[in-house]
Amino acid sequence: MSDFFQDSPLRIAGREFASRLLVGTGKYRDFDETAEAIAASGAEIVTFAVRRTNLGQDAGEPNLLDAVPPERFTLLPNTAGCYTAKDAVRTCKLARELLDGHNLVKLEVLGDDATLYPNVVETLSAAETLIADGFDVMVYTSDDPIVARELERLGCCAIMPLGSLIGSGHGIQNPYNIRLIIEQSGVPVLVDAGIGTASEAALAMELGCDAVLMNSAIAHARQPVLMAGAMKKAIEAGREAFLAGRMPRRQSAEPSSPFAGRIHG
């Protein structure tokens, strides 16, 4: 934020954050690039995936959690790759054990390989189970406002509709639905998935999103670290523009310079 304005912090499940950009850790060249890009993004919340340990691995092999230490970042384990509520719940429990009891998770239950579109039936079921088990659930979902409302009613601590398909870089395809979800929600709304470039991140914030979560837009940029910095600025610019309130749109022109006093008047 600028020197002249102090925004209120982003509040998720009782935790407060200055940054409104959340980033993933997938698709980077190596952990050094991951760490550099995250530093440039200013993100405080960082997502990761849980997978089987490669048992052939050298014990000295670098670990993601060394590049993104849990002492410095709020780690947000995801359930990417899960297609059933049961698998998503198991994954969250493993993540909680991995992070010594940390209970904030990103729930996503996918519907199919081609679209990675959320299976909202399984997502609702998993959310209910996880919340009953004490998890704070940030939930990836479709941009359907009725499903979003139901997820909030179950107790999800953040609603995260897709802008467009995961990894597609198609931006926000239905800004009107995102608006509807923002207007009805009492918990933070984040666009999660679809952002391709800085202007799209700014648009999400101008619509009134509380934050944006992205991975590919940074990791798959030609220069990820440079793009991470661009996204940080876009999120801040979009947030300030939203708070400032845009001018009304007009059908006709209106001069910025006065007519009175013109020399040929």
Partner 1 sequence: MTYASLSASASREDAMQILLNGETRALESNATVAELVESLGLAGRRIAVEVNEEIVPKSEHDGIRLTEGDRVEVVHAIGGG
Only segment of 5-13, 22-30, 153-161, 178-186 that touches partner 1 (CB under 8 A): 22-30
Cα separation, 157 vs 214, in Å, equals: 18
Under the binding rule (CB under 8 A), the answer on residue 34 touching partner 1 is yes
Under the binding rule (CB under 8 A), the answer on residue 27 touching partner 1 is yes
Only segment of 150-158, 197-205, 212-220, 251-259 that touches partner 1 (CB under 8 A): 212-220
Q: Cβ distance 236 to 1 under 8 Å?
A: yes
Under the binding rule (CB under 8 A), the answer on residue 114 touching partner 1 is no
Element (H, E) at 53: none
Closer residue to partner 1, CB minimum distance, 204 or 219: 219
Cα separation, 52 vs 58, in Å, equals: 15
Furthest-apart CA pair in the chain: how many Å? 85
Site for partner 1 in 42-101 (CB under 8 A): 47-53, 55, 57, 59, 63-65, 75, 77-78, 80, 90, 93-98, 100
> Exposed, middle or buried, 2 (CB in 10 Å: 0-12/13-18/19+)?
exposed
Write down the least CB distance from residue 102 to partner 1, Å.
Answer: 12
Cα separation, 242 vs 106, in Å, equals: 26
Q: Cβ distance 88 to 126 under 8 Å?
A: yes
Using CB under 8 A, count the residues that bind partner 1.
37
Q: Which residues are catalytic?
A: 106
| Residue ranges binding partner 1 (CB under 8 A) | 24-28, 34, 47-53, 55, 57, 59, 63-65, 75, 77-78, 80, 90, 93-98, 100, 166, 213-216, 219
